[in-house]
Homo-oligomer: A and B are copies of this chain.
Amino acid sequence: MGKEHLLIPGPTPLPPEVLEAAGKQMINHRSLPFAGILQRVIAGAKEVFQTEHDVLLLTSSGTGGLEAAVVNTLSPGDLVLGLSCGFFGDRFADIAEAYGAKVERIAVEWGKPVPPDLVADRLRRDRRGEIKAILVTHNDTSTGVTNDVRAIAEARGAHPALLLVDGVSAVGAVDCQTDAWGLDVVVTASQKALMSPPGIALVAVGPRAWEATQYARMPRYYFDFGEAKRFLERTVAQTPFTPAISVLYALDVALSRIKQVGLQNWIARHALMARATREGVRALGLPLLAEEPYASNAVTAVRVPEGLDVRRLVSRLKEKHGVVVAGGQGPLEGKVFRIGHLGYVGREDILAALAALEEALPALGFPVERGRGVAAAEEVFATALEVLR
């Protein structure tokens, strides 16, 4: 009967009015009322992407959106830089390889961001302009590291490579200035900072990416950008294929709430949740994986003390406290656990998670001073009450 605190990096907990919207009756997806929903969702998404160019809606997870970014802009044999500092950077590169791109990976240790200098150096050596695209994960939820996409965009300078950005857990949680920074494609998904159920990928497509679609020879049908745009521009805006209607109902409500709060406040709220989490965890003596300058607003990866079984910890937090966090992925399995703080996650969830840790760690043989983590988080919250309203 205990309440659940869902603190994984997606799906994220949904506000009651969003759940209510998700439970609404179906309507014709090729009708004026539904066109109104699509148009409001796109307008709301453009604000979050900070773009005046196109936003397309695809019925898929975020990964489907990443595949769309690749297949609409590239051709088999194209040389592509795959920047990776974690699981999702690897995935983006894997997708490009699956479709026949020649992917050169710039991979750094999990827990660090990709240095923009490495990108600048590599592009400088590309005198013949062979590199067609750079793939980068704005925020890698496997590590809780945020890449400096702005600096990477600057590192590109005048090189013609497209910049394709996995913003799945970033857009809405961190500042992602699609147009101002010159990002060509940015992908996000409904179930992260946009506090909606999973099922819709949102893709911002800029003018240089549209130009690339003219020459891109990777095969595509379901994820074709051109079709999506043509259908949106019909007299009655629509999608080429029946979309996840209930997810769009939810996004409509969620994006209007974000608009009400204001994008910068929404990002500030994410930063605050993240900071309170980090301070709370640090106060309990647990080290963080990502250092402060690139620690993510979306998720915090916490190193566990030598000898502590992550599975037992995660399971105790869930069973005894209703606090749902995630274990580590890949090389970090067994070494970290991850606290997600995206979307509708609130201060009570963060406090509940820290209080749960204060019970669970001693119970598993790692004594901590009760109240210390919670107090540190409270202190952070107390400095920014206006952000929480």
Name which of A23, A25, A62, A243 has the most chain B CB atoms within 10 A of its CB: A23
The reply to whether A63 and B245 form a contact with Cβ atoms under 8 Å apart is no
Assuming the A-B contacts A60-B64, A219-B100, are A28 and B324 also in contact, with contact meaning beta carbons closer than 8 angstroms in the complex? yes
Give complex CA distance A29, B198 in Å.
Answer: 10
Nearest chain B CB to A25 CB, angstrom units: 6
What bracket does the count of chain A residues touching chain B fall in? 35 or more
Assuming the A-B contacts A94-B221, A198-B59, A221-B99, are A191 and B241 also in contact, with contact meaning beta carbons closer than 8 angstroms in the complex? no
The quantity of this chain's copies bound in the complex is 2
Give complex CA distance A29, B191 in Å.
Answer: 12
Interface string of A45-83 (1 = CB under 8 A from B): 000000000000001111110010000000000000000
Give complex CA distance A95, B223 in Å.
Answer: 11
A189 within 8 Å of B by Cβ? Answer: yes
Give complex CA distance A220, B20 in Å.
Answer: 36
Q: Which of A6-14, A203-211, A283-291 contacts B (4 or more CB under 8 A)?
A: A6-14
Nearest chain B CB to A326 CB, angstrom units: 8
Q: Which residues A214-247 have CB closer than 8 A to chain B?
A: 218-222, 240-247
Determine chain A's interface SS by DSSP, over half rule. Answer: loop
Residues of chain B within 8 A of A241, CB atoms compared = 60-64
Nearest chain B CB to A299 CB, angstrom units: 14
Residues of chain B within 8 A of A246, CB atoms compared = 22, 197, 199, 246-247, 250
A122 within 8 Å of B by Cβ? Answer: no
Interface string of A11-47 (1 = CB under 8 A from B): 1111000011011111111010000000000000000
Name which of A13, A24, A218, A247 has the most chain B CB atoms within 10 A of its CB: A247
Q: What residue in chain B is nearest A21 (Cβ atoms)?
A: B23
Nearest chain B CB to A135 CB, angstrom units: 13
A379 within 8 Å of B by Cβ? Answer: no
Subset of 22 A-B contacts with CB under 8 Å = A6-B25, A6-B26, A6-B27, A11-B29, A19-B23, A23-B23, A29-B198, A59-B64, A61-B241, A61-B242, A64-B241, A98-B219, A98-B220, A197-B246, A198-B243, A199-B243, A199-B245, A199-B246, A199-B247, A218-B219, A246-B246, A246-B250
